[in-house]
């Protein structure tokens, strides 16, 4: 399929621009969720808002927009930029990629409208109706096909580890999406349905966001540090351990629940083994950055990347810890889980995506970043806001869990416990507001870079698509 009439990297650029619009919309929904957690009567002044802006509708709209409107297209954008760079070959079909962008966004608009109307299915992160699921599987497979053909046509014979991660995700994403709609429409017994549902919930993070995020880290780290990757072998060990162990982690969401004990253990053991791939990432980060730490002070893209890597490490330490039966008995079903869920998705992979955008977009449009001051503001608003958000949820969750163990599940004790958590929910809203302001700064900086950024001179490396 010819792409001669289409400028290279157009698909990547279009995914970047559209995902930023969805990021802002998703953040608005997140802020509404946080405000309604503090003040439940917010947006109830007429029948329309009472019907369509309930917590039960806004929350899945927020999660679906952020996961599939922002972060998934953000990583598609990285796919379509990084793969041609590493293969030294143009994308197999820019036209196919552009069609994917338009179809993905059209489907997402319909998807979100259906959620607003209350047309939801009961599987978390998979509330979309069956027709949407089928189209998404097709589009994910289409994106994977474009990626695979580009890699098969490569001029660079050595496959850098990022391509391994991207190839894995191109296969796993449509497969795990199929798993997600099985509990919605198949006749399964109660335990089987929950087990399948949490296989989906954990693995959309484990075999999509994690490997594509880690693969992007491995591309950006040598580029931003100016040093070769410390160990290609370690990175491949991380890839194969993710592929081997991550898919079995789903049952740890149902520890201490109505599951057979052997199935709980079957979820706990591979959760503990996930320390292996995270240590390979940590060792590679430390080894690559040796002698180059001074660059963090002057390179904001690197600062985003390393902070995202740190949060990824914390998420992969926190996850196995709370999979153990004793901590799980305290922390499960509390606000702690809210903080933990945001740790990999915002703290790690969204910061990595920010780093990738700041690195790739100037090279695509041939312009320098409009304002490094705004970049710095974006970094600190995002990181400080997230830390306020996460720690308020972790503290609230620990208080909830210990309070319930002390017998405050019902009656006056329960009401008193709920009232005591109000300050933490207020802190969550403050942290979320800072994250939202950071996203606005980011969107404005990207817009100005694309339209008014200083053009890089011919002697400068900025315009080179490398």
CB-based burial of residue 188 (10 Å sphere; 0-12 exposed, 13-18 middle, 19+ buried)?
Answer: middle
Q: How far apart are CA 67 and CA 104, in angstroms?
A: 13
End-to-end CA distance of the chain: 23
Sketch the domain layout of the chain as residue ranges.
11-450
Identity of the highest mean pLDDT range in 279-283, 330-334, 382-386: 382-386
Distances (CA, A) of 111 to 11, 63, 69, 104, 117: 22, 12, 10, 10, 10
Following DSSP, what letter does each residue of 148-189 receive, concatenated?
HHHHHT-S--S--HHHHHHHHHHHHHHHHHHHHHHHHHS---
Q: What is the pLDDT of residue 246?
A: 85
Average pLDDT of the chain is 90
Mind spelling out the 3-state secondary structure of 380-413? HHHHHHHHHHHHHHHHHHHHHHHHHHCCCCCHHH
Tell me the two tokens of residue 274. 């996930």
pLDDT digits (tens, 9 = 90+) for 286-311: 999 999 999 998 899 999 999 999 99
367 pairs with which residues across the strands? 455
Q: How far apart are CA 304 and CA 147, in angstroms?
A: 26
Say if domain 11-450 classifies as CATH 1.20.210.10: yes
Q: How far apart are CA 130 and CA 57, in angstroms?
A: 18
455 pairs with which residues across the strands? 367
The answer to whether residues 199 and 156 touch, using CB atoms and an 8 Å cutoff, is: no
For the beta carbon of residue 263, count every other beta carbon within 10 angstroms.
17
The percentage of the chain sitting over the pLDDT mark of 90, rounded to a whole number, equals: 65
The percentage of the chain sitting over the pLDDT mark of 70, rounded to a whole number, equals: 95
Q: How far apart are CA 267 and CA 96, in angstroms?
A: 39
Q: How far apart are CA 160 and CA 39, in angstroms?
A: 50
CB neighbour list of residue 451: distance below 8 Å, 6 or more residues apart: none
Q: What is the pLDDT of residue 457?
A: 53
pLDDT digits (tens, 9 = 90+) for 85-134: 999 999 999 999 999 999 999 999 999 999 999 888 888 888 888 888 89
Please, what sign has the CA dihedral across residues 9, 17, 160, 458?
positive
Q: Is 458 a residue whose pLDDT tops 50?
A: no
Tell me the two tokens of residue 366. 């041939």
- Higher local confidence (pLDDT), 4 or 373: 373
Distances (CA, A) of 132 to 65, 114, 187: 14, 10, 20
Q: How confident is the model at residue 22 (pLDDT cuts 50, 70, 90)?
A: very high
Tell me the two tokens of residue 276. 């292996």
Q: What is the pLDDT of residue 78?
A: 96
Q: What is the pLDDT of residue 252?
A: 80
The answer to whether residues 70 and 23 touch, using CB atoms and an 8 Å cutoff, is: yes
Q: Is 459 a residue whose pLDDT tops 50?
A: no
Q: What is the pLDDT of residue 463?
A: 42
pLDDT digits (tens, 9 = 90+) for 395-429: 999 999 999 998 888 888 889 999 999 999 999 99
Tell me the two tokens of residue 394. 């972790």
Q: What is the pLDDT of residue 394?
A: 96
- CA torsion, ordered 59, 60, 63, 67, to nearest 10 deg: -170
Q: How far apart are CA 124 and CA 116, in angstroms?
A: 16
The answer to whether residues 428 and 389 touch, using CB atoms and an 8 Å cutoff, is: yes
pTM: 0.94
Q: What is the pLDDT of residue 324?
A: 87
Q: Mean pLDDT across the stretch 245-266?
A: 81
- Please tell me the least confidently modeled range out of 8-22, 97-111, 238-252: 238-252
CB neighbour list of residue 442: distance below 8 Å, 6 or more residues apart: 20, 23, 354, 357, 378, 382
Query: How many Å is the Cα radius of gyration of the chain?
Result: 22
Alpha-helical runs (H) found in 39-160: 47-52, 55-65, 72-87, 94-116, 130-152
What is the separation of C-alpha 275 from the centre of its chain, rounded to a whole number of angstroms? Answer: 19
pLDDT digits (tens, 9 = 90+) for 343-369: 999 999 999 999 999 999 999 999 999
Q: What is the pLDDT of residue 122?
A: 81
CB neighbour list of residue 34: distance below 8 Å, 6 or more residues apart: 425, 428, 429, 432, 433
Q: What is the pLDDT of residue 449?
A: 96
- Please tell me the least confidently modeled range out of 245-259, 295-309, 435-449: 245-259
């Amino acid at each position: 399929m010819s792409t001669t009439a289409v400028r290279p990297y157009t698909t990547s650029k279009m995914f970047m621009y559209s995902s930023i619009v969805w990021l802002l919309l998703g953040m608005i929904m997140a802020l509404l969720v946080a405000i309604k957690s503090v003040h439940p009567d917010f947006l109830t002044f007429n029948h329309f808002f009472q019907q369509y802006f309930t917590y039960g509708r806004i929350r899945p709209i927020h999660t679906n927009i952020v996961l599939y409107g922002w972060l998934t297209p953000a990583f598609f954008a990285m796919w379509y930029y990084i793969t041609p760079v590493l293969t030294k070959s143009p994308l197999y079909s820019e036209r196919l990629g552009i069609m994917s962008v338009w179809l993905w966004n059209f489907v997402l608009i319909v998807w979100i409208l259906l959620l607003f109307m209350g047309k939801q299915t009961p599987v978390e992160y998979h509330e979309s109706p069956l027709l949407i699921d089928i189209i998404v599987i097709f589009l994910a497979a289409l994106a994977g096909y474009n990626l695979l053909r580009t890699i098969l046509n490569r001029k660079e014979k050595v496959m850098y580890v990022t391509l391994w991660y991207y190839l894995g995700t191109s296969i796993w994403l449509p497969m795990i999406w199929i798993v997600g709609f099985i509990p919605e429409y198949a006749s399964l017994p109660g335990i089987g349905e929950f087990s399948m549902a949490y296989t989906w919930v954990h693995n959309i993070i484990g075999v999509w966001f994690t490997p594509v995020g880690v693969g992007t880290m491995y591309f950006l780290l040598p580029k931003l540090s100016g040093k070769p990757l410390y160990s290609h072998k370690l990175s491949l060990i991380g890839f194969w351990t993710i592929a081997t162990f991550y898919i079995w982690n789903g049952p740890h969401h149902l520890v201490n629940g109505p599951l057979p004990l052997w199935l709980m253990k079957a979820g706990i053991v591979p959760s503990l083994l996930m320390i292996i791939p995270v240590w390979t990432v940590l060792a590679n980060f430390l080894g690559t950055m040796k002698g180059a730490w001074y660059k963090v002070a002057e390179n904001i893209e690197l600062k985003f990347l390393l902070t995202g890597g740190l949060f990824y490490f914390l998420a992969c330490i926190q996850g196995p810890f709370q999979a153990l039966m004793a901590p799980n008995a305290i922390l499960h079903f509390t606000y702690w889980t809210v903080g933990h869920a945001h740790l990999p998705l915002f703290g790690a992979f969204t910061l990595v995506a920010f780093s990738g955008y700041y690195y790739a977009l100037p090279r695509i449009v041939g312009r320098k970043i409009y304002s490094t001051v705004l970049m710095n503001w974006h970094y600190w608003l995002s990181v400080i806001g997230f830390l306020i958000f996460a720690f308020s949820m972790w503290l609230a969750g620990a208080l909830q869990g210990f309070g319930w163990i002390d017998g405050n599940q019902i009656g006056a004790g329960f009401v008193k416990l709920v009232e005591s958590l109000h300050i933490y929910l207020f802190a969550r809203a403050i942290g979320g507001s800072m994250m939202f302001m950071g996203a606005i700064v980011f969107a404005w900086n990207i817009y100005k870079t694309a339209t008014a950024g200083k053009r890089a001179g011919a002697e400068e490396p900025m315009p080179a698509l490398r």
